[in-house]
Amino acid sequence: MSALELTDVVVDYHGRDGTVRAVAGASLSVDRGRVVGLVGESGCGKSSLARAAVGLVPIAAGSVAFEGRPVSEMTRRARPADLVRLQLVFQNPYSSLNPRRTVGRQVADGAGGSRARVGELLELVGLSANAAARYPHEFSGGQRQRIAIARALAADPAVIVLDEPLASLDASAQAQLANLLTRLARELDLGLLLISHDLAIVRHVADEVCVMYLGRMVESGPTLPLWQRPAHPYSEALIAAVPHADGAGTLPEALPGEVPDPSRPPSGCRFHPRCPYAFDRCLTEEPPLIGLAGGRDAACWLQQAGQSAEPPAARAANLAVGADVE
């Protein structure tokens, strides 16, 4: 059993213009000591899934379980004690830290008020213990993010869900935080669900990666094999779009089109209108997420259950399908 387990989760938002299905049946699990990266373009549902994971938004179907117990939707009441060990860190620590309270008091909220413990937690995230007496505005963006993490750690969590924790930080601050996250996962046997649009960092930090597109998981698996040989054309496109600072002067590949409106998802495979390899079947039948060799999963008609992941282009050429075939 994984520490955090999301199974066939559906998240709906109800607005004046009807219902939008932000997450349309997605599963993932986070084990202790493991870092799971969740990637995808904006609008793919990754933040909604993260919020569902901690009970910040209600789920319409499926289940979310933390250490074997269902995660209920958060209410105004205090969280049940057993859910306190499931923590969330947001993108902008400036909006989640109270500007008028000292760092120490905010970290102490979760640490039972012990001053020694607060100092310990601050040192654990790479700050000095005397940071406790200061206020959030006295710190840089990266340091504030570490304060937010120290506060989450105060609850002695088993799993932390981090929503874009590295966004809007400079490269050096990102590197520090990425190192911190890997270290915490190992040393504290902590499960981390890392939602990020920065694929290069996810590649470095995550043990496993889940790729989401328009509310569905399209691929997941151990990070390096997935990176070296993406099975889903969408993962392939995401990876090809990451720029490298190698000075070689090659422009990253653009993925034409945009994430479609989730209230009117395309027929068949949701990715087919943007997929260079789409063929007849993709237009009408939605591919299920199938298990491939090496602990990988992909939802693409080009892959075969139980086989190793094949590069979509090669497989499409073999099948003589898709727009790329000459």
Partner 1 sequence: MSVLEVEDLRVRLRTPAGEVTIVDGVDYEVQPGEVFGVAGESGSGKTISMLALLGLLPEGAVVGGSARFGDDDLLAMPRRRLRRISGRELAMVFQDPYTSLHPMLSVGRQLTDHVRLHLGLGRAAAEARAVELLEEVRLPDPRAALGRFPHQFSGGMRQRIAIAIALACRPRLLIADEPTTALDVTVQAGILRLLDRLRREHDLAVILITHDLGVLSGIADRVGIFYAGRVVELGLRADVLQRPRHPYTRALIDALPHPELTREQNLVAIPGTPPSPGRIPAGCAFHPRCPYVQDVCVAQVPPLDPVDTRLLACHVDPFAG
**Is residue 203 a contact residue for partner 1 (CB under 8 A)?**
yes
Give whichever of 46 and 51 is closer to partner 1, judged by the CB atom: 46
Binding range to partner 1, per CB under 8 A, among 90-98, 171-179, 212-220, 294-302: 171-179
Nearer to partner 1, 40 or 110 (CB): 40
Nearer of residues 81 and 248 to partner 1, judged by Cβ? 248
- Residues 178 and 20: beta-carbon distance below 8 Å: no
Residue among 41, 20, 18 nearest 218 (CA):
41
* Angle between helical axes of 171-187 and 141-153 (0-180°, round to 10): 20
Residue 210 engages partner 1 in binding (rule: CB under 8 A): no
Minimum CB distance to partner 1 smaller for 24 or for 185:
185
Q: Which is nearer to partner 1, 106 or 196 (CB)?
A: 196
Contacts of 26 by beta carbon, 8 Å cutoff, 6+ apart: 6, 8, 9, 45, 49, 212, 215, 216, 217
Q: Which residue has the tokens 């009408």?
A: 284
DSSP 267: S
- Mention every residue, 6+ apart, whose C-beta is less than 8 A from residue 258: none
Torsion of CA 104, 108, 111, 113, to 10 degrees: 120
| Window of 22-30, 61-69, 138-146, 290-298 that interacts with partner 1 by CB under 8 A | 138-146
Taking contact as CB under 8 A, which single stretch among the options 116-124, 169-177, 293-301, 303-311 is the one that binds partner 1?
A: 169-177
Q: Phi first, then psi: give them for residue 146, nearest 5 degrees.
A: -70, -35
Size of interface with partner 1, in residues (CB under 8 A):
45
Instruction: Write out the binding residues for partner 1, residues 240-259 only, by CB under 8 A.
Output: 241-256, 258
Q: What is the DSSP code (8-state) at residue 80? A: P
Binder of partner 1 out of 171, 283, 305, 323 (CB under 8 A): 171
DSSP state of 286: P
Residues that bind partner 1 in the complex, under the rule CB under 8 A: 41-43, 140, 142-143, 170-176, 178-179, 182, 197, 199-201, 203-205, 207, 223, 227, 237-238, 241-256, 258
